[in-house]
Structure 1
Amino acid sequence: MRYLIETKCDGVAKKFNDVINQRDAATRWRNEKPSLEALLTIADKFNCSLDWLITGKEHEIFINDELNKEIKQVCLDIKEIMELNDEVIVLMLKNYLESLKIISRRNFINKPFSQK
């Protein structure tokens, strides 16, 4: 997030909060308690992947725009269905991303994710 504030918001945390329309997003991130809505909004507004936001690194698998949209929808579905706190949801996303990496390494994914 520090990178996004520095490069996209002229180093101003308030500007970052204004862009994603959440007044305490930068503070919550520094305290390691970002909301799921904030993660989804940041990924959308700053055109970055959820895996980069959560882990701070790009992984070996390529998450294209279509897959990123599907991941966002899954996150919204999880939020809607279950009444979990943000920390549990972030942990679930991290586990899901790790699963995708493992599957990708084993070459189980031979076609684009969006094909059914």
Structure 2
Amino acid sequence: RMIMSMWNIEDLPEMTLQPCCYQTLWDVTDGYLNCMLIQRSGDIPLGVPFNTSQYAVLVHLIAQVTGLKPGLFTHVINNAHIYENQIEGMKLQLTRANDDYSAPKLWINPEINNFYDFTADDIKLVD
């Protein structure tokens, strides 16, 4: 089990905004790498989908270089909200709720076995 914290008290005074996603908890169960992301605040239309995607990809990257399979990803969000300037965009998104879009597939360069060797070119959404 591992905990990763992005909450560095010494850096907080210089930050315009404290980290929204500030902690991950990791564990391995039967060869699967599981991650729980803790988020202190998240705007639902924009921030949360981005954070969910980036940390889900992180699970896949770490799983690959450790020889594990991606497992459960749990996202805990405190203070979930929608800003007033996001309401019209949310209304548009809701009109698309029944649209049938296939989810893209995540491709990660299978030749990478050191986390620090990954580049943006090694990660793609396909189909």
Establish whether TM, by shorter chain, passes 0.5: no
TM-score bracket relative to the smaller structure: under 0.3
Give the greater-gyration-radius structure (CA).
2
Which structure has more strand as a fraction of its residues? Answer: 2
